[in-house]
A and B are shown apart, each in its own frame.
Chain A
Amino acid sequence: MNIVVCIKQVPDAKDVRLDPKTNTLAREGVQSIMNPYDQHAVEEAVRLKEQLGGEVTVLSMGPPQAQDVLKQAISCGADKGVLISDRAFAGADTWATSYTLARAVKKLGSFDLILCGKQAIDGDTAQVGPGLAIQLGIPFVTCIQKIREAGETELVMERMMDDGYDVLAAGYPLLLTVVKDINEPRVPSLKGKMKAKKAEIMILSAEDVGADPRKIGLAGSPTQVVDVFPPPPRGERALLTGSIDEQVKQLVEKLAVYL
């Protein structure tokens, strides 16, 4: 079973803050982390490999620093890391990102399964997984909360829905996106850390993957951001005062419209 896991490096949410005075995102001290959903995708891939054999390749599109998350995935059991990195990718939306990832996947050779996180926490779009499947011409299922049975030819799995879950079966090749309920990611072992340290990350440019310059970066992006601004302020902290009884009474009066 050859599995490709797409992982993205994202800024840690607790560090991303809009400076109210300057209206800019505070950049200082912003740590980069592996997108949390992608950790679950890596873990599931490693578990499937342990069960069925084969190889796990982790793939990321991003700046050179994104090698860090690829190494982190290797320390957690992935075998190979591939980074597609090129200034020409700047401004890519989800269409251009899925196109670029698809080019790289094709370049890497044959695979049975592709795993993605449900969404990346910087943009929260949840569009790259399905987009990648379409670009590769393979079926996809999103929001997998459990793989019930993994066989040589077919998977049986649960997809989280708003009102419950669906049980689905599908053969390979297949792309899945996963939610965090699917597993508990392991912490890297000492051996894993050593392996990651030594690992050579393969770095590919737009040209290396044979990407059409008109389909990558800003040019390949049907959507364009035209404005960014801070969210409307929520107003001041408003603590009620008085005894608990009085506060509860005030609160119920304030909430009258909802009762």
Chain B
Amino acid sequence: MLKVDNELCIGCGVCEDNCAFGAIEVVDGLAVVGDACTLCGSCVESCEVEALTIEGAEKSVQVDLASWSGIWVYCEYRAGKLAPVSLELLGVGRQLADARGVQLAAVLIGSDTGDSADVLIGHGADIVYRADNKALEYFTDETYGAVLTNLIREHQPEVVLAGATAIGRSFIPGVANTLGAGLTADCTQLDIRSDDGALLQTRPAFGGNIMATIVCPSSRPQMSTVRPKVMKELEFDAGRQGEIIDMALDEGMCSSKVRVLESVISENDDVNIQESDILVGGGRGLDSEKGFELIRDLANSLGAAVSASRAVVDAGWIGYPHQVGQTGKTVAPRLYIACGISGAIQHVAGMQSSETIVAINRDENAPIFNVADFGIVGDLFEVLPKLITTIEGYRKS
């Protein structure tokens, strides 16, 4: 509960202005808390006379924070490939480790991982914990979860990061829950507080309408999944030294009640739109499935992948893996070109943190222009062919 000390409260209203949820109001010279309160604590910090406190029952888990040390990154390996986000996370992990004066470790789980451990060291890891076993060829929540949980229990890292991918967002919540650890999903920014080592995890909420910073004050490890493309990987340095520790696996870590019968990797490799630097998005303005050919041509000329609004996914013009938005994927490419997409809030929620947004739409009042850095008002059937030839011309010159 958020408590107001009526003796201390001077009714200044600073808390009222600070509450993003409109949950606190000054009535007759005193702050009054309403039902909308989410206990976020913004007002407590803002109150200069310290009249506000958050009270609750005592925490059930209290760990000895000092015995947890080191920054870890779960490095995803699937179908013979390291996920690019793993290397991005080693980049930010390196910064966090250096700020804390601790080691950066990578956790590699899979089968036939080849020289991947060396690649991880070259990208910043001091240690690689490797679980390479035929039984781990296919991802299951149980096996991967057991391996990671065991490693964490044994070595007690203070921070564990993973990519906010299909795999990361599936088994990491299970691991965190097993450990009673706090987990923040889909972070876009990470910092470490120097005095107490608290990981400041920032992420969008309410479809990107607000940003929230989250900490785990009394539990360890502090766990986050992080969006692909928002962190920068370090350049590969073949001279970097590191240690590879192979993990002994017991039976329990290798069996799962859920069996993988088949893993179907899509032929066209552009379905993984979250890992693409450039996305060309198509909407209902394309008129038909055939219209998507124009989008593909533009994507080809840019080396981009193709995304879509829900309207066209529902119409069956393109598959669900390409849908961007609240009920699709969240993407943050360097460049997003929205063609014939109106920019409904549910679509914008999934792409508004792109670095640069371009919109092409014939309706100058379309809301997509509100988030666009560059907009062209025009018929896409006229604009796109011209854009493709101009890009090709530019490339040649």
B173 touches A127 (CB 8 A): yes
Chain B residue, CB-CB nearest to A161: B166
Please name all residues of chain A whose beta carbon is closer than 8 Å to the beta carbon of B364 when the two chains form the complex: 239
Asked if B21 CB lies within 8 Å of chain A CBs, one says: yes
Q: Return the CB mask of B132-149 against A: 1 if under 8 Å, else 0.
A: 000000110110000000
A224 touches B177 (CB 8 A): no
- Interface residues of A, count at CB 8 A: 95
A171 to B375, CA, bound (A): 52
A63 touches B19 (CB 8 A): no
B40 touches A222 (CB 8 A): no
Known: A90-B38, A217-B56, A224-B217. 11 other contacts (CB 8 A): A18-B210, A127-B183, A131-B174, A163-B79, A167-B260, A222-B219, A224-B215, A234-B357, A247-B376, A248-B387, A251-B387
Q: Chain B at the A interface: mostly helix, strand, loop or mixed?
A: mixed
A14 touches B40 (CB 8 A): no
A244 touches B218 (CB 8 A): no
Chain A residue, CB-CB nearest to B200: A226
A251 to B38, CA, bound (A): 44
Chain A residue, CB-CB nearest to B59: A219
A140 to B395, CA, bound (A): 49
Interface residues of A in 11-26 (CB under 8 A from B): 11, 13-14, 16-18, 22-25
28 contacts between A and B (CB under 8 A): A18-B209, A25-B209, A91-B56, A93-B182, A95-B180, A124-B330, A140-B141, A161-B263, A162-B165, A163-B271, A164-B264, A164-B265, A165-B264, A167-B260, A171-B257, A180-B320, A180-B327, A221-B182, A222-B182, A222-B218, A226-B215, A227-B40, A231-B204, A231-B352, A234-B371, A237-B372, A240-B376, A251-B374
Please name all residues of chain A whose beta carbon is closer than 8 Å to the beta carbon of B248 when the two chains form the complex: none
* Chain B: minimal CB distance from A40 (Å): 9
Most chain-B Cβ atoms within 10 A of its Cβ — which of A129, A139, A218?
A218
Please name all residues of chain A whose beta carbon is closer than 8 Å to the beta carbon of B369 when the two chains form the complex: 237, 239
Chain A residue, CB-CB nearest to B278: A258
Asked if A60 CB lies within 8 Å of chain B CBs, one says: no
Q: Chain A at the B interface: mostly helix, strand, loop or mixed?
A: mixed
Q: Beyond A24-B21, A228-B40, A239-B375, is A258–B356 a contact (Cβ under 8 Å)?
A: yes
Asked if A110 CB lies within 8 Å of chain B CBs, one says: no
Q: Return the CB mask of A140-180 against B: 1 if under 8 Å, else 0.
A: 11110100000000001001111111111111001000011
Q: Return the CB mask of A71-99 against B: 1 if under 8 Å, else 0.
A: 00000000000000001001101110010
Asked if B60 CB lies within 8 Å of chain A CBs, one says: yes
Q: Return the CB mask of A93-125 against B: 1 if under 8 Å, else 0.
A: 111001000000000000000000000011111
Asked if B49 CB lies within 8 Å of chain A CBs, one says: no
* Chain A: minimal CB distance from B363 (Å): 12
Chain A positions near chain B (C-beta within 8 angstroms): 11, 13-14, 16-18, 22-25, 27, 36-37, 63, 87, 90-91, 93-95, 98, 121-127, 129-131, 133-135, 139-143, 145, 156, 159-171, 174, 179-181, 212-215, 217-231, 234-235, 237-240, 244-245, 247-249, 251-252, 254-256, 258-259
A225 touches B259 (CB 8 A): no
Chain B residue, CB-CB nearest to A93: B182
B378 touches A247 (CB 8 A): yes
A237 touches B174 (CB 8 A): no
B185 touches A124 (CB 8 A): yes
A125 touches B210 (CB 8 A): no
A226 touches B377 (CB 8 A): no
Most chain-A Cβ atoms within 10 A of its Cβ — which of B207, B219, B353?
B207
Asked if B208 CB lies within 8 Å of chain A CBs, one says: yes
Please name all residues of chain B whose beta carbon is closer than 8 Å to the beta carbon of A131 when the two chains form the complex: 173-174, 176-177
Q: Beyond A13-B207, A218-B39, A237-B372, is A170–B257 a contact (Cβ under 8 Å)?
A: yes
Q: Beyond A143-B170, A212-B60, A258-B334, is A17–B209 a contact (Cβ under 8 Å)?
A: yes
Asked if B213 CB lies within 8 Å of chain A CBs, one says: yes
Asked if B51 CB lies within 8 Å of chain A CBs, one says: no
B378 touches A229 (CB 8 A): no
Q: Return the CB mask of B163-191 against A: 1 if under 8 Å, else 0.
A: 00111011101101110111111100000
A225 touches B185 (CB 8 A): no
Q: Beyond A163-B266, A239-B375, is A25–B21 a contact (Cβ under 8 Å)?
A: yes
